Amino acid sequence: MKKVLAGCLMGFVLLGVLAGATLYFAWGLIRPVVSTVTDVASGATRLGDVMDIDRELRNTGSFEPPASGELTADQVARFVRVQQQTRATLGDRAGMFADKYRELSRRTPEGTVVVPSLQDLLGGVTDLSNVYLDAWRAQVAAMNDAGFSRSEFSWVRLRVYQAAGLEAVRYDARDLAEAIGRVADGANLDLPTVTLPDAPAANRALVAPHRELIRSWLGMAFFGL
């Protein structure tokens, strides 16, 4: 009987050790996500005004994208003006977005850039909360000057970056603000993945003269701006 009890006791001890080890390793896997969610939810307090900024847009109309997916020269020119004005308003602080992007991104041994995950982007946004709010306000003011609605600007922005070879730029400020709001409410982090056909040749031709300028906005672009 003593041997049986000892064996049972040892079994419980081993089960306890195994359960503890399993929990330890499982926590090691999910801790980065839990930490990100916690940080973003905390940062959502500092970004509490972020969803109100778009209410300053004067053009609230809807935009019907062309079936061809082609940009116009006017749209590209207006988009470039918006981004230049936003960058100019931020001044030296614009470099903070590039610094944070470099901090979050990495390269594979083959040299391919690994795009930061949505969790990383949201964490980066909360780290940049003060300058992020100022950047979004500046962008909305520039959108008003250029006559953009949010729906047209989002459509143009996505296709300009695609035509410039920056197809990984998939989220805009509104997307990230909605994600931050969902995290603060305890909901899922995921956003739908946008799948685009190849950039039309007309778009690539319109964007080509601005390609290097557009690439210089990469840091801001990855944070939805």
Range 3-16 average pLDDT: 38
**Strand 106-107 and strand 113-114: pairing?**
antiparallel
Integer Cα distance of 157 and 27 in angstroms: 39
Residue 191 amino acid letter: L
Integer Cα distance of 145 and 58 in angstroms: 9
pLDDT tens for residues 43-97? Answer: 445 555 556 788 899 999 999 999 999 999 999 999 999 999 999 999 999 999 8
Integer Cα distance of 15 and 2 in angstroms: 20
Is the torsion defined by CA of 124, 144, 50, 182 positive or negative?
A: negative
Report the percent of the chain where pLDDT is more than 70: 60
Give the pLDDT band (50/70/90) at residue 129: confident
Give the pLDDT band (50/70/90) at residue 187: low
